[in-house]
Amino acid sequence: MQSALSLSFSQTSLPLANRPLCSSNAAPSTTPRNLRFCGLRREAFGFSPSKQLTSRRFQIQSRRIEVSAAASSSAGNGALSKSFDYDLIIIGAGVGGHGAALHAVEKGLKTAIIEGDVVGGTCVNRGCVPSKALLAVSGRMRELQNEHHMKAFGLQVSAAGYDRQGVADHASNLATKIRNNLTNSMKALGVDILTGFGAVLGPQKVKYGDNIITGKDIIIATGSVPFVPKGIEVDGKTVITSDHALKLESVPDWIAIVGSGYIGLEFSDVYTALGSEVTFIEALDQLMPGFDPEISKLAQRVLINPRKIDYHTGVFASKITPAKGGKPVMIELIDAKTKEPKDTLEVDAALIATGRAPFTNGLGLENINVVTQRGFIPVDERMRVIDGNGKLIPHLYCIGDANGKMMLAHAASAQGISVVEQVTGRDHVLNHHSIPAACFTHPEISMVGLTEPQAREKAEKEGFKVSIAKTSFKANTKALAENEGEGLAKMIYRPDNGEILGVHIFGLHAADLIHEASNAIALGTRIQDIKLAVHAHPTLSEVVDELFKAAKVDSPASVTAQSVKVAV
């Protein structure tokens, strides 16, 4: 509780207090700001009796040493900093760049953002945002079509139908609205939005269009594009990527979705709700790889098996030809291991959801001797770009999908904020384990931290014990009131010290429920503390509360259902 208080205190109130100080001249302001920062922290910690917090305080102190070293060096370059056009130049105005820009302005940096396409990037224009609009429609359709579900409420609904163009418009209108909001928020704060493709010319020098500008620090945030494996011909009509699918130009009778990750799953939810039948093609042996196995098992039982979906696992789509001249879309499947031909599918459309590839071509990386790895820009834990010799390039950072650390919009934004923290004199390392992820199917899937196998592997290596707490949505009043009792929440934790290692939720509004766990992980809150917090009744948040309460901390002989192996 206390640590939560102190952190929020430092993050929100400090920059406000400092803004007038650092607006004119960055160099002298750094030192006092740091002093003040630590002073405040110390005050906050002064209240805390817990030993956890004292260890935290120790960290802070050591951090301060580093920071002041950085500050003195930047003070030495003070004259130089005046000769730059900008304090910070961000290449790419996606969610990552936007998050960084806003935070930079808050920190008093003169900031420019370069965008070659549309503001908002993938997330706003071709990703999270329009897909949520489609999923909002699919959720309602699903509900209205579920006669049994409606009957259980005592509701009568006559045959539900939809207008495809209307649904598509909802998605594009939402994207436009969010894009405008994003643009306006940056304009209002005085961020210069520069139009053109950005490229790095040399250290601290960037080109966009025909203009060359200099910046003290540069962030590359160019994001990613849909990855299309070779052999697949995308025509944008019958063989499509998520970019096309979000426009919802057609609802095919039968669509094959290549890849059963987040993107594929969400689209299967949309298409089946709108009346399509879906065939998944997954290269791994199991659908939904990457999710906790128990969650993916349950998800398969709820999201796949009862729906008009079938699947081929352990196969690659080696060749996909778009529909032409009255012929359907042809998909050739080969065994993922032996590469032998296995099957041919003829479908009305194919959606390629095999992941995303970094968009780093034409960035001028060769000018600064950066060698990409499969397109990704190598960075260290502070997002500092590493060159071909393994050396850090000063003043150059890369965030978001382009570095491939965690390809999520909010991770990019968090990385951007972390970088701004660093360049304004506060060392910061983002804890990626605390970044939640969600898949907005009906019901939703969300997760943070490690999966059970990952946690067990780590436990084995580091020699600690792992326990699992589980609870069902069937036990939650609010979920039952909504007739949505299908769902599972699962927490993986250390029984010895109460550390949360991972939380996985499958059920109604799972994406909203995960944050209590992700915040606890980010702040280092232990189960024994958070389990005393109170949740409003009846709410879905009690599912997570139930998890915390079900955990048996400090008893090595945990009674929780660790292994579900059962004998006959």
Partner 1 sequence: MSRLLQTPFLPSVTLPTKTRSSVTGFRVKPRIIPIQAKIREIFMPALSSTMTEGKIVSWVKSEGDKLNKGESVVVVESDKADMDVETFYDGYLAAIMVEEGGVAPVGSAIALLAETEDEIADAKAKASGSGGGGDSQAPPTAAIEAPVAVEKKIAAAPVAVKAVAASAVHPASEGGKRIVASPYAKKLAKELKVELAGLVGSGPMGRIVAKDVEAVAAGGGVQAAVAVKEVVAAPSVELGSVVPFTTMQGAVSRNMVESLTVPTFRVGYTITTDALDALYKKIKSKGVTMTALLAKATALALAKHPVVNSSCRDGNSFVYNSSINVAVAVAIDGGLITPVLQNADKVDIYSLSRKWKELVDKARAKQLQPQEYNTGTFTLSNLGMFGVDRFDAILPPGTGAIMAVGASQPSVVATKDGRIGMKNQMQVNVTADHRVIYGADLAQFLQTLASIIEDPKDLTF
164 interacts with partner 1 by CB under 8 A: no
330 interacts with partner 1 by CB under 8 A: yes
For the CB of residue 565, give the shortest distance to partner 1 in the complex, in Å. Answer: 5
Yes or no: say if 566 and 539 are a contact pair by the CB < 8 Å rule.
no
470 interacts with partner 1 by CB under 8 A: yes
Yes or no: say if 327 and 521 are a contact pair by the CB < 8 Å rule.
no
The pair of structure tokens assigned to 250 is 């057609």
Q: Find the binder of partner 1 among 26, 258, 278, 530 (CB under 8 A).
A: 278
| Residue 58 identity | F
Give dist(CA 350, CA 328) in Å, integer. 10
Q: Which of 308, 283, 153 is nearest to 231 (CA)?
A: 283
Give dist(CA 147, CA 135) in Å, integer. 20
Residue 155 annotated as part of some ligand binding site: no
- CA-based radius of gyration for the chain: 25
The pair of structure tokens assigned to 223 is 């994001």
Residue 282 annotated as part of some ligand binding site: yes
Q: Find the binder of partner 1 among 301, 324, 339, 465 (CB under 8 A).
A: 301
564 interacts with partner 1 by CB under 8 A: yes
- Give the binding-site size for partner 1 (rule: CB under 8 A): 31
Q: Find the binder of partner 1 among 346, 366, 457, 460 (CB under 8 A).
A: 346
344 interacts with partner 1 by CB under 8 A: yes
Catalytic residue, candidates 98, 395, 442, 537: 537
Residue 198 annotated as part of some ligand binding site: yes
Residue with Cβ nearer partner 1 (233 or 496) = 233
Q: Find the binder of partner 1 among 474, 481, 497, 538 (CB under 8 A).
A: 474
Yes or no: say if 167 and 275 are a contact pair by the CB < 8 Å rule.
no
* x-or-dash string of contact with partner 1, 354-393, rule CB under 8 A: ----------------------------------------
Yes or no: say if 421 and 30 are a contact pair by the CB < 8 Å rule.
no
Q: Find the binder of partner 1 among 106, 235, 277, 332 (CB under 8 A).
A: 277
Tokens 């056009």, residue located? 85
The C-alpha angle 186, 176, 161, rounded to 5 degrees, equals 150
The pair of structure tokens assigned to 524 is 């280092």
Residue with Cβ nearer partner 1 (214 or 250) = 250
SS3 call for 86? strand
Contact stretch for partner 1 (CB under 8 A) within 209-217, 272-280, 414-422, 537-545:
272-280
Residue 139 annotated as part of some ligand binding site: no
Q: Find the binder of partner 1 among 43, 253, 366, 457 (CB under 8 A).
A: 253
Alpha helices in 431-537 (DSSP H): 452-462, 477-481, 510-513, 515-523, 527-530
The C-alpha angle 158, 164, 165, rounded to 5 degrees, equals 130
Please state the φ and ψ torsions of residue 28, each to the nearest 5 degrees.
-70, -25
Tokens 């929440």, residue located? 489
* x-or-dash string of contact with partner 1, 480-519, rule CB under 8 A: --------x-------------------------------
Residue with Cβ nearer partner 1 (306 or 390) = 306
Annotation says 537 is catalytic: yes
Q: Using H for helix, E for strand and C for coil, what is the string for 355-419?
A: CEEECCCCCCHHHHCCCCECCECCECCCCEEECCCCCEEEEEEECHHHCCCCCCHHHHHHHHHHH
Yes or no: say if 323 and 158 are a contact pair by the CB < 8 Å rule.
no
Residue with Cβ nearer partner 1 (158 or 389) = 158
Give dist(CA 138, CA 440) in Å, integer. 11
User: What is the DSSP-derived secondary structure letter of residue 291?
Assistant: S
| Full DSSP string of 124-141 | IIISHHHHHHHHHHHHHH
279 interacts with partner 1 by CB under 8 A: yes
Tokens 């909010």, residue located? 410
Residue 265 annotated as part of some ligand binding site: yes
Tokens 């120790």, residue located? 58
For the CB of residue 151, give the shortest distance to partner 1 in the complex, in Å. Answer: 11
Residue with Cβ nearer partner 1 (24 or 158) = 158
Residue with Cβ nearer partner 1 (188 or 568) = 568
For the CB of residue 258, give the shortest distance to partner 1 in the complex, in Å. Answer: 15
Residue with Cβ nearer partner 1 (536 or 567) = 567
Residues annotated in a binding site:
132, 198, 222-224, 259-266, 282, 355, 401, 407-410
The residues of the shown chain that bind partner 1, judged by CB under 8 A, are 158-159, 253-254, 277-279, 294, 297-298, 301, 308-310, 326-328, 330, 344, 346, 348, 470, 472, 474, 488, 561, 564-568
Residues annotated in a binding site for NAD(+):
259-266, 282, 355
Residues annotated as catalytic (active site), given as ranges: 537
